[in-house]
A and B are shown apart, each in its own frame.
Chain A
Amino acid sequence: MDFIGILQGLWEFSGFSVLDWRNLVMILVSFVFLYLAIAKKFEPLLLVPIAFGILLANLPGSEIMYDSVGLTDFEVQVAEGAHWYDSGVLRLLYIGVKSSIFPCLIFMGVGAMTDFGPLLSNPVSLLLGAAAQLGIYIAFIIAIASGQFTPDEAASISIIGGADGPTAIFLTSKLASHLLAPIAVAAYSYMALIPIIQPPVMKLLTTKKERAVKMTQLRKVSKKEKIIFPVVVLVLTALILPSVIPLLGMFMLGNLFKECGVTERLSDTAQNALTNIVTIMLGTCVGATANGQTFLQTKTLLIVCLGLIAFIFSTAGGVLLGKLLYVLTKGKVNPLIGAAGVSAVPMAARVAQKEGAKTDPTNFLLMHAMGPNVAGVIGSAVAAGFLLMLFEH
């Protein structure tokens, strides 16, 4: 018996023999993410599946993202007699990301959880939600100016400024799917870090007097208005910009389930079971695209920096329009609610509430901030639709 040969074979078949330092780094990154999600509770519902997806894809010898027939990876060499079911399990699920099924289903769930009441009672919120998309376009200009990215890539990176994970995944999977992992990871990481990123910008751009403004009570919104809103807004927006239909259509469908009062079971499923199932698959698949060989590049670092710039400028855009409204309304609008226009529901609204309460503990801005917050979801979907219209192949 060739004992040495057996040991040699054992080594060659083990993961150690094919371990690449880049995979090792990504495994460590997944551990850090798992720590942040479990110990620090940073967006755990998203970060745990993303981190585990990273771990699964980087384990040596892992074929969990193997593409046997070029399902989503069109550069793959297809072997004779290969079948689609020979592909790795996460590659098969990844079709849901690539085809935009998962982001759209998530949007339906988000729609079913959204209350448009604060927005309907204060329509000016919509303008704040629009202004808070500024970061998307600033990041786009910088990405093009850097000379490191194609227009498709720049558009995908810039959407991080929309602070909306499903929108970022939707647009990136259409325009630059090879950058999906860094963009998704950056988008969700910054969403989790909103309580750290936004307050310095909000304080820098506002005075204590502005932050202390107490806003008047919101008007009562009728049930009929809440039912009419999703249907008519979808039709209006789709007529102007048809490319937003997949995202906004599913968002408004979910909202109609919630508001119409006759589809409680569907609303409940969209809000809970469906969203949870899709989140597991979406998060794990997105994480699994972060393979060390493709993820650890200079471009990834640039994407992370551009994402941060986009977030800062989006916050600034909302706050600056809030300041303008403060002047125009003679002090009736608190500029802090403009920062909530970066969508990230409801974290950004909570930050506005917290910063307002720091200046005056009797100031309750949360409901006022929810208006720009949900307007931001519509705004980022429109921005994504615009970029898709320009750059989709």
Chain B
Amino acid sequence: MFTANLLAIVNSGLLAGQDISILDAILIAVVGMVVVIAILAVIALFILLVSKIMGAIEKAAEKKAPAASPKPAAAPQAPKGFPLPDTQSQGKLQLENVDEPTAAVIMAIVSNQSGIPLNRLAFKSIKLLEDK
């Protein structure tokens, strides 16, 4: 009965104007949820596939022409054994299309909003995504 109802719902493709029971509603809900999950899972698999292909293409291109990538600018570090001053963050920071004053403002905002002193934060890179 359950399977028959399920098949009827899927195959009919159209329940317009028909009254449905609670059991039918539950079946529709189950099938609907499965459809949503299945479609989004297919998309997820597609993304994984594309990212693998793109990764392989990029690796192959890198092997062919190893371009010299600019090394990130080293942030001044405090001598070992000494804590960093409050105004300095940890680690190396790479700036892409962002000037130093803007980067300093961004780091200060993050520090202020998170309530964490700057010398306990490590920024890896700050880059401009879109220049409008």
Among candidates B16, B22, B35, B37, residue contacting A393 with C-beta atoms closer than 8 Å? B16
**B13 CB within 8 Å of chain A:** yes
Chain A window 337-362, contacts with chain B (Cβ cutoff 8 Å), 1 for yes, 0 for no = 00000000000000000000100011
Is there an interface contact between A141 and B39, defined as CB atoms closer than 8 Å?
Answer: no
Separation of A187 and B83 alpha carbons in the complex (Å): 53
Separation of A382 and B124 alpha carbons in the complex (Å): 38
Is there an interface contact between A393 and B25, defined as CB atoms closer than 8 Å?
Answer: no
**B123 CB within 8 Å of chain A:** no
Is there an interface contact between A127 and B40, defined as CB atoms closer than 8 Å?
Answer: yes
Most interface-central of A126, A138, A229 (chain B CB within 10 A): A126
Chain A window 48-84, contacts with chain B (Cβ cutoff 8 Å), 1 for yes, 0 for no = 0000000000000000000000000000000000000
Separation of A222 and B61 alpha carbons in the complex (Å): 14
Q: Which residue of B lies closest to A137 (CB)?
A: B29
Scan residues 336-392 of chain A and give those whose CB is less than 8 A from a CB of chain B: 357, 361-362, 375, 378-379, 382-383, 386-387, 389-392
Chain A window 305-340, contacts with chain B (Cβ cutoff 8 Å), 1 for yes, 0 for no = 000000000000000000000000000000000000
A236 surroundings in chain B (CB, below 8 A):
39, 42-43, 46
**B4 CB within 8 Å of chain A:** no
Scan residues 96-132 of chain B and give those whose CB is less than 8 A from a CB of chain A: 114-116, 124
Among candidates A154, A240, A361, residue contacting B114 with C-beta atoms closer than 8 Å? A361
Is there an interface contact between A126 and B40, defined as CB atoms closer than 8 Å?
Answer: yes
Main secondary structure of the interface of A (DSSP, over half): helix
Among candidates B15, B35, B40, residue contacting A129 with C-beta atoms closer than 8 Å? B40
Stretch of B50-58, B62-70, B73-81, B86-94 that contacts chain A? B50-58
CB distance from A371 to the nearest CB of B (A): 11
**A20 CB within 8 Å of chain B:** no
CB distance from B22 to the nearest CB of A (A): 5
Separation of A145 and B39 alpha carbons in the complex (Å): 28
Q: Taking A151-B19, A225-B54, A390-B15 as contacts, is the C-beta distance between A361 and B47 under 8 angstroms?
A: no
**A10 CB within 8 Å of chain B:** no
B48 surroundings in chain A (CB, below 8 A):
123
Separation of A144 and B25 alpha carbons in the complex (Å): 7
The 6 closest A-B pairs by CB, nearest first: A137-B29, A144-B25, A123-B44, A123-B47, A126-B40, A130-B40
Known: A232-B46, A233-B46, A390-B14. 10 other contacts (CB 8 A): A123-B45, A127-B44, A130-B36, A136-B32, A137-B32, A224-B54, A236-B46, A241-B39, A390-B9, A390-B15
8 example contacts (A-B, Cβ-Cβ < 8 A) are as follows: A129-B40, A137-B32, A145-B22, A151-B20, A225-B54, A390-B13, A391-B16, A392-B14
